[in-house]
Structure 1
Amino acid sequence: MINWLCGLCLAVQLATSGAGYLERNYPASVIQDARLTTLELLAKYRHPSEEHFVTTSDGYILALHRIPRPGAQPVLLVHGILDSSASWILMGPRNGLAYYLYDSGYDVWLGNCRGNTYSRNHTSLNPSKDRAFWNFSWHEIGLYDLPAMIDKVLDATSFKKLTYYGHSQGTTVFFVMASSLPAYNDKVILINALAPVAFLNHIKTKLVKVVRAMMALLFGKDKPMELLPRSKLMLKMCFISKTVLNLCMNYVSRAVGGDMKKINKVNTLEDS
Structure 2
Amino acid sequence: MAVTIIGCNIIESLLLLLLSGLCCWQLESQLRGSSFMVAAFINVRQTRDIIITDAVQRIRRDGYPVEKHHVLTKDGYALTLHRIPQYNTTSTTGATACGIYSRRPVVFLLAGIYASSDAWLLNGRENSLPYLLWRQGYDIWLGNNRGNIYTRRNVWYNATEREFWNFSWHEMSIYDMPAMVDYIMQCTGEAKMHFVGISQGGTVFLVLNSMLPQYNGVFKTAHLLAPVAYVSNTKGGLAKIFGPILGTRNYVAKVLEGMEMVSTNKFVKKFLSSLCFENERPMVCVSRLWPAVGYDTQHLNKTLLPDIMANFPVGGSFKQIMHYFQGYVSTKFRQYDYGPEKNWLMYNQLEPPDYKLELVTAPVTIFYAENDYIVSVEDIWRLLMRLRNLQAVYKIPRRRWNHFDFICGLGVREFIFDKIIRAANYYEYTYS
Q: Same fold (TM over 0.5)?
A: yes
Answering whether residue 297 of structure 2 is matched by residue 260 of structure 1, we say yes
Contact 2:111–2:197 (CA<8 Å) still a contact in 1? Answer: yes
SS of 1:171's equivalent in the other structure is helix
The aligned amino acid for 1:58 is: D
1:185 CA displacement: 0.5
Q: CA RMSD in A?
A: 3.5
Tell me the SS of whatever aligns to 2:141: strand
Aligned length: 260
The aligned counterpart of 2:79 is 62
Distance change (3 Å), C-alpha of 1:71 and 1:137: same
Q: Secondary structure at the match of 2:233?
A: coil
- In the alignment, does 2:66 pair up with 1:35? no
Q: Secondary structure at the match of 1:53?
A: strand
Of 114, 138, 145, the match for 1:106: 138
What is the TM-score when the length of structure 1 is the normalising length? Answer: 0.81
1:32-75 CA distances to partner (integer Å, 9 max, x unpaired)? 2x324111111112211100010111111100000011300111
Contact residue 16 and residue 261 of structure 2 kept, 8 A: no
What amino acid maps onto 2:126 in structure 1?
R
Distance 1:5 1:178 in 2: 32
* Aligned amino acid, residue 184 of structure 2: V
- State whether residues 11 and 211 of structure 1, in contact with CA within 8 Å, keep that contact through their aligned partners in structure 2: no
In structure 2, the residue matched to 1:22 is none
Larger RCO of the pair (alpha carbons < 8 Å, separation 6+): 1
Taking the aligned partners of 2:251 and 2:24, their CA distance within structure 1 comes to 10
In structure 2, runs of 5+ residues without a counterpart are 1-13, 33-40, 87-101, 308-432
**CA–CA distance in structure 2, aligned partners of residues 171 and 258 of structure 1:** 23
The answer for unaligned runs of 5 or more in structure 1 is 20-24
- TM-score (ref. length: structure 2): 0.53
* Structure 1 position 266, deviation (Å): 0.9
**Equivalent position SS for 1:207:** helix
Q: Distance in 1 between matches of 2:31 and 2:206?
A: 33
Q: How does 1:46-61 map to 2 (within 5 A)?
A: 46-61=63-78
Q: CA deviation at 1:244?
A: 8.2
Q: Equivalent pairs: percent with the same residue?
A: 35
Task: Return 84-93 or 171-180, whichever deviates more.
Answer: 84-93
Instruction: Check if 1:225 corresponds to 2:259.
Output: yes
- Please tell me the residue identity of whatever aligns with 1:71: R
Q: Does 1:118 align with 2:118?
A: no
Shift of 1:207: 2.9
In the TM superposition, what is the alpha-carbon distance from 1:220 to its structure 2 partner? Answer: 7.4
Aligned residue number for residue 163 of structure 1: 194
1:133 aligns with 2:150: no
The separation in 2 between residues aligned to 1:89 and 1:12, in whole angstroms, is 26
In the other structure, the counterpart of 1:152 is 183
Question: Within 1, Cα distance between the matches of 2:293 and 2:76?
Answer: 28
The whole-number CA distance in structure 1 between the counterparts of 2:226 and 2:295 is: 11
Rg larger in structure:
2
Change (3 A) 1:125 1:256: farther
Deviation, 1:93, is 1.6
Q: What secondary structure sits across from 1:148 in the alignment?
A: helix
